[in-house]
Structure 1
Amino acid sequence: MEPSKNPLSLHLRIRDGLSRIAMVMRVDDWNAAKTTALNPTQFAILSLLAARARTGLAVKEIAAHLGVSQPTATDSINALERKGYLRKTPDPRDGRAVSIGLTPEGSEALLAGKAEDGLAAQAVEALDGGEQEDLLLCLIKMIRHLQERDAIPVQRMCVTCRFFSPYAHSDSERPHHCHFVDAPFGQSELRVDCQDHHEADPAARAAAWTAFKAGLTDPHSQSGKE
């Protein structure tokens, strides 16, 4: 029997588990949004823009990151603008477009909605440090897989950044190096969304990923250490 047809197959049980977590996260999103009299899409837009305060995003970028249609994104953006939570400015990258950014009032609304940890955050906190690190590494692998197949927009992860050097140091606690801040860092500090991210070219990105994966299997096999 093919694994995809077998209800007891490991990958289907993992998918089932992820779907339960996703359900709880949707509940968390609704609860956070309700505290600010917003819907989850509007609240997600605030969260997305808060992480991109330096540059803002175009409407099509917001829609792509949230996995919604441009008309849906536009309706939510307009509603948030009427509330004074967003502002539109000319997009320096495209004279015909606008860049969407948070206002101070939008930032305050976002903070009010995130005042308490949701159930999903509490579930993560129930894991010990090693389990959290392992989960982070698994998520990074899954996100990269989706990104490389154009299933999701480019994610601002360390492993796709031109400043990232995997296993550049012999220190097992801080094996990686970030050339942006010129400092070593550890596995638990790997970022999924970094505002200082600069996407590496495809060849460099592939080489870094190959070295990163090899180091996960055998950190001592990596060359180029101090």
Structure 2
Amino acid sequence: METPTDPTPISHRISEGLSRVAMAIRSDEWTKAEATGLKPTQLAILDYLVGRKEAARVKEIAAHLGVSQPTATDSVAALERKGFVEKTSAAGDKRAAAIGITSAGRDALQAVGAVEDAATAAARTLPAQEQQDLLMSLVKIIRHLQEADAIPIQRMCATCRYFRPYQHKGAAKPHHCDFVNAAFGQSEFRIDCRDHETADPATRAATWDAFQEG
């Protein structure tokens, strides 16, 4: 029996806590998706496509969402029937199909995006510094999961070729984004940036080391 003087490891309890948060997030995802007659995976595909400059192949969609290619194919087919996505020829290979979001898909995504989910509302109740500290802790957890191949490379600053950590020493906004040529601080760190371009492995490792040392 677990007692206050003999608890499970704190890492285990953190994992338990994250699973409870994930439970609320999954519930919100279903609620949002059902409001537009979709399923959570279908809604996630629209969210992924809306931030891309170009259409995406199904294998790219599957890799980003961490689902099987057949699951992604079925979800794309359902979205296509609803008129939320359309297929075009993939760049550089006219025999392959690429998936792009339609104006109807953008409207559906915008409709559900206006509703604040429970996890976001809960995070907003934390003091600003606690929110920032939590964000940085999540970045570290996500990075470790990526390196362990437990999840795909995420579109966060730490993996982006435009990210320059601690370029502005002693400043309130120490980091620099070469994409927009602007400084930014810890609280502005992105977990899922739509302008993200994945850096090569060596650059990612060097960037992370610089970020940690800073």
Cα distance in 1, alignment partners of residues 93 and 137 from structure 2:
37
**In the alignment, which residue of structure 1 is the partner of 2:208?**
209
Cα distance in 1, alignment partners of residues 93 and 130 from structure 2:
44
- After TM superposition, what 4+ stretches of structure 1 lie above 4 angstroms from structure 2? none
- Displacement of 1:171 after TM fit? 3.4
**In the alignment, which residue of structure 2 is the partner of 1:101?**
100
- Percentage of identical aligned residues: 57
**In the alignment, which residue of structure 2 is the partner of 1:31?**
31
**In the alignment, which residue of structure 2 is the partner of 1:155?**
154
- Displacement of 1:178 after TM fit? 1.7
**In the alignment, which residue of structure 1 is the partner of 2:3?**
none
Flag the 1:180–1:44 CA change in 2: closer, same or farther, 3 A: closer
The residue type equivalent to 1:128 in the other structure is: P
Q: Which runs of 5+ in 2 are unaligned?
A: 1-5
- Displacement of 1:102 after TM fit? 0.7
1:63-142 aligned within 5 A: 63-142=62-141
Cα distance in 2, alignment partners of residues 199 and 34 from structure 1:
32
Flag the 1:151–1:56 CA change in 2: closer, same or farther, 3 A: farther
TM-score by length of 2: 0.91
The residue type equivalent to 2:79 in the other structure is: L
TM-score by length of 1: 0.86
The residue type equivalent to 1:195 in the other structure is: R
CA offsets 1:45-76 (integer angstroms, 9 cap, x no match): 11121222x12221112122222222221111
1:50 aligns with 2:56: no
Cα distance in 2, alignment partners of residues 157 and 73 from structure 1:
22
Flag the 1:67–1:203 CA change in 2: closer, same or farther, 3 A: closer
The residue type equivalent to 1:170 in the other structure is: K
Flag the 1:203–1:70 CA change in 2: closer, same or farther, 3 A: closer
RMSD: 1.7
Cα distance in 1, alignment partners of residues 203 and 74 from structure 2:
39
